[in-house]
Amino acid sequence: MKFYPRRRRSAPAVIIISLIDVLLVMLVFLLFTTTIKNTPALKLELPETSEAPKPGASTEKPPLIVTVAPTAPNYFIGNRAITAEKLLSELKAAKTNDPQLRLVIRGDGDAAWRLVVKVLDFAKQSHITNVRAFTKNKTP
């Protein structure tokens, strides 16, 4: 009986380039087909942010600041209390004086959202496009 010596078989080669191609195609497929779910019921604590602008950081013309308070009188321009009806005419007059007017809404966290929306609506009626909101820095 004659025995033949076994030849050692080499280990199978893994072609890594093809594997990377397949994984990349799968990753792209998953990115395009995955949907991100928005949770509709979030508890919001307004207005706080860690990216609040620093006071005096800008060299531009100062913006028109409208303060929204939770109690009557609800609206202030500077330190002057103003009614909702008068606010619209004030915003229109300010816009005609300065076409590049910047409006900043400084709303109290306890103020009703409808009061802030009313200011936004008045800004839209006055054709003011640069509207922002003041926030305070979060305390760590």
Residue 64 CB neighbours (<10 A): 20
Predicted pLDDT at 131:
93
Predicted pLDDT at 130:
92
Q: In the predicted model, is pLDDT for residue 8 greater than 80?
A: no
- Rounded to two decimals, the pTM is 0.55
User: What are phi and psi for residue 66, nearest 5 degrees?
Assistant: -110, 120
In a domain, 124, yes or no: yes
- Structural contact between residues 48 and 135, judged by C-beta atoms closer than 8 angstroms: yes
In a domain, 74, yes or no: yes
In a domain, 24, yes or no: no
pLDDT tens profile 18-65: 889 999 999 999 888 887 665 544 343 455 566 655 555 555 788 898
Give 32's contacts (C-beta < 8 A, 6+ positions apart). Answer: none
Predicted pLDDT at 55:
56
End-to-end CA distance of the chain: 85
Give 82's contacts (C-beta < 8 A, 6+ positions apart). Answer: 73, 75, 76, 90
Residue 116 CB neighbours (<10 A): 19
Structural domain boundaries, residue 119: 49-137
In a domain, 3, yes or no: no
Domain tally for the chain?
1
% the chain with pLDDT above 90: 36
CATH of the domain at 105: 3.30.420.270
In a domain, 66, yes or no: yes
pLDDT tens profile 112-123: 889 999 999 999
In a domain, 115, yes or no: yes
In a domain, 1, yes or no: no
Please tell me whether residue 14 adopts helix, strand or coil conformation: coil
Predicted pLDDT at 140:
59
In a domain, 88, yes or no: yes
